[in-house]
């Protein structure tokens, strides 16, 4: 069995596998549950075997509950002449993910309340979800929206189901003998979005296949989960084992054409951050470095106060930062197989450096000295709390920090407000404040320090603190 230092990749064979997976995975309508996820994991299992597991609906996972399983077979919107305006079979982004079934004629004035579009990107279909609120909706380009006749009724059909089932995820553990363990996680819940995050799923399976063939000193845990709810459920099911993980990465958005970028761990200067920097420099690759932000993928869950795993993220066109994020223009024309291969090379270099590590900072050393001023303690330290059930989060997902909504630079202060008559108080900056406070509710970090880390005003953080106190999510330590 080869070691990673002896290993060299067959770029031609890997590229062929990537291109094959592009064609097979892209058309599938995935969600946080359902047959689309199972079909995707079955295809990936043909590359190399891993375990597929199910968690039943209604299972309590910390502050969250596994929702009913959603499946969809067809959906369309047709006018009075029988012409289809929207067709799920042509693009599965046309239907708001997790829409309830519907079959009725709807007048334009009622219909438009359920239509989602992007005026700033008029040819693109936006990606929207309604995971935790029973609702329905269609997504279409702004140009097609403008063609709708306001005087007509439209036949509105969504053939979907919401019923007891399960959440499906994949995992595989490569066991070493050093006592050190690292996690490589990706998410499998997005439908036909190529960079975010079909590319991450493909890198995940190729990296797993390679590492399974090598003799490795450390242990490597691979998890392929639905974003947010899947990561939280995985932590809940593997709490003891995950508390011993030393570091890791979320594999996401690795297929774009732009230069590399790296989102730091919550520490900013952990051994993970240092190894990534060394790997890029030794590869003569220039990259953009982003500071840690609680917004993103599942890194904030793995780094929650109880676990505090330093998680990094390497991207080629990072989520939030590219114009086509969460739209139909994030398609097979946008991504490149070479980008995934190039990212694979960087990760293999990183792993080779991890294999040489003898001493890793203990997690106790990650903590800063307790300040004299008052600190906060999260009463939900295992993951972020479910804000939507407390009416503290928008019920329509997919639009958060979407660049196509507002093409101004988006960083840390998300440009959105809630839709569907949710409480408008809970806009992007306020939710950011809540999230930062919960993440640093470790009885070690003061409001002043959270303000410096987040860039948010102390007044806003104090307001968010009062809201969290009202909901019993934190306590103040004097």
pLDDT in tens, 93-107: 999 999 999 999 999
| Backbone angle region of 296, left / alpha / beta, with phi > 0 → left and psi within -120 to 50 → alpha | left
| Backbone angle region of 179, left / alpha / beta, with phi > 0 → left and psi within -120 to 50 → alpha | left
What pLDDT does residue 400 have? 62
Which pLDDT tens digit goes with each residue over 266-303? Answer: 999 999 999 999 999 999 999 999 999 999 999 999 99
Per CATH, is 11-65+167-363 categorized as 3.30.420.40? no
Query: Residue 371: pLDDT band by 50, 70, 90 thresholds?
Result: very low
Euclidean distance between CA atoms 84 and 140, whole angstroms: 12
Query: Quick check: pTM over 0.75?
Result: yes
Structure tokens belonging to residue 292: 């840690």
Euclidean distance between CA atoms 461 and 375, whole angstroms: 12
User: Across the chain, what does the average pLDDT equal?
Assistant: 91
418: pLDDT strictly greater than 60? no
Q: Please name the residue that has the structure tokens 């009062």.
A: 466
414: pLDDT strictly greater than 60? no
Structure tokens belonging to residue 319: 């989520």
- List C-alpha distances in Å: 372 to 210, 322, 376, 446, 447: 49, 42, 12, 9, 12
Residues forming beta bridges with residue 150, ordered by sequence position: none
397: pLDDT strictly greater than 80? no
R_g of the chain computed on alpha carbons: 22
DSSP 196: I
- Asked if omega into 259 is within 30° of 0 (cis), the reply is no
What pLDDT does residue 203 have? 98
What pLDDT does residue 1 have? 77
Structure tokens belonging to residue 240: 């003891």
Residue whose C-alpha is closest to residue 93's, from 141, 137, 136, 127: 127
- Provide CATH code, domain 370-477: 1.10.10.10
Query: Residue 420: pLDDT band by 50, 70, 90 thresholds?
Result: very low
Output phi, psi for 337, to 5 deg. -65, -35
The count of other CB atoms within 10 Å of the CB of residue 215 is 12
Q: Would you kindly state where each structural domain of the chain is located, as residue ranges?
A: 11-65+167-363, 69-162, 370-477
Which pLDDT tens digit goes with each residue over 25-52? Answer: 999 999 999 999 999 999 999 999 999 9
Query: Residue 402: pLDDT band by 50, 70, 90 thresholds?
Result: low
Displacement of CA 217 from its chain's centroid (Å)? 29
What pLDDT does residue 403 have? 67
- List C-alpha distances in Å: 439 to 62, 124, 304, 407: 15, 34, 6, 28
Euclidean distance between CA atoms 366 and 269, whole angstroms: 10
Residue whose C-alpha is closest to residue 383's, from 469, 309, 274: 309
What pLDDT does residue 172 have? 98
Which pLDDT tens digit goes with each residue over 133-187? Answer: 999 999 999 999 999 999 999 999 999 999 999 999 999 999 999 999 999 999 9
Euclidean distance between CA atoms 65 and 58, whole angstroms: 6
Contact 154, 106 (CB under 8 A): yes
What pLDDT does residue 363 have? 62
For range 424-444, the mean pLDDT: 85
What pLDDT does residue 412 have? 33
What pLDDT does residue 394 have? 80
Q: The domain 69-162 is classified under which CATH number: 3.40.50.970, 3.40.640.10, 3.50.30.90, 3.20.20.70? A: 3.50.30.90
Query: Residue 4: pLDDT band by 50, 70, 90 thresholds?
Result: confident
Residue 363's SS3 state is helix
| Backbone angle region of 322, left / alpha / beta, with phi > 0 → left and psi within -120 to 50 → alpha | beta
């Amino acid at each position: 069995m080869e070691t990673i230092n002896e290993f060299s990749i067959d770029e031609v064979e890997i590229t062929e596998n990537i291109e094959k997976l592009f064609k097979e995975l892209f058309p599938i309508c995935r969600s946080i549950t359902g047959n689309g996820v199972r079909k995707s994991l079955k295809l990936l299992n043909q590359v190399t075997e891993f375990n597929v597991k199910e968690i039943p609906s209604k299972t309590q996972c910390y502050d969250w509950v596994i929702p009913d399983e959603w499946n969809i077979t067809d959906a369309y919107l047709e006018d009075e002449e029988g012409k289809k305006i929207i067709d799920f079979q042509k693009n599965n982004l046309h239907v708001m993910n997790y829409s309830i079934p519907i079959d009725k004629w709807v007048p334009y004035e009622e219909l438009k309340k359920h239509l989602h579009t992007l005026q700033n990107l008029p040819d693109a279909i936006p990606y929207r979800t309604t995971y935790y609120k029973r609702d329905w909706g269609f997504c279409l380009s702004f140009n097609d929206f403008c063609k709708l006749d306001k005087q007509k009724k439209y036949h509105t059909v969504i053939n979907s189901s919401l019923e007891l089932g399960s959440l499906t995820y994949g995992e595989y553990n490569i066991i070493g003998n050093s006592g050190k363990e690292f996690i490589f996680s990706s998410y499998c819940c997005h439908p036909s979005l190529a960079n975010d995050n079909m590319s991450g799923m493909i890198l995940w399976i190729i990296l797993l296949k390679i590492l399974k063939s090598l003799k490795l000193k450390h242990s490597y845990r691979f998890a392929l989960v639905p974003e947010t709810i899947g990561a939280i459920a995985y932590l809940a099911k593997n709490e003891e084992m995950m508390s011993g993980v030393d570091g890791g990465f979320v594999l996401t958005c690795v297929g774009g054409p732009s230069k590399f970028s790296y989102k730091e761990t919550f520490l900013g200067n952990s051994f993970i951050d240092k190894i990534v920097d060394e790997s890029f420099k030794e590869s003569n690759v220039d990259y953009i470095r982003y500071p840690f932000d609680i917004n993103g993928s599942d890194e904030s869950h793995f780094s929650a106060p109880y676990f505090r795993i330093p998680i990094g993220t390497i991207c080629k066109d990072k989520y939030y930062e590219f114009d086509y994020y969460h739209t139909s223009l994030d398609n097979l024309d946008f991504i490149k197989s070479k980008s995934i291969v190039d990212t694979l090379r960087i990760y293999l270099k990183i792993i080779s450096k991890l294999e040489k590590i003898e001493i890793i900072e203990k997690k106790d050393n990650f903590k800063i000295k307790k300040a004299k001023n008052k600190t906060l303690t999260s009463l939900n330290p295992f993951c972020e709390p479910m804000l939507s059930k407390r009416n503290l989060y928008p019920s329509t997902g997919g639009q958060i920090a979407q660049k196509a909504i507002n093409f101004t630079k988006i960083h840390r202060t998300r440009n959105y407000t809630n839709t569907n008559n949710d409480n408008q108080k809970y806009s992007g900056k306020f939710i950011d404040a809540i999230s930062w406070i919960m993440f640093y509710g470790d009885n070690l970090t003061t409001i002043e320090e959270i303000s410096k880390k987040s860039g948010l005003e102390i007044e806003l953080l104090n307001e968010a603190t009062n809201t969290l106190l009202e909901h019993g999510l934190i306590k103040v330590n004097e």
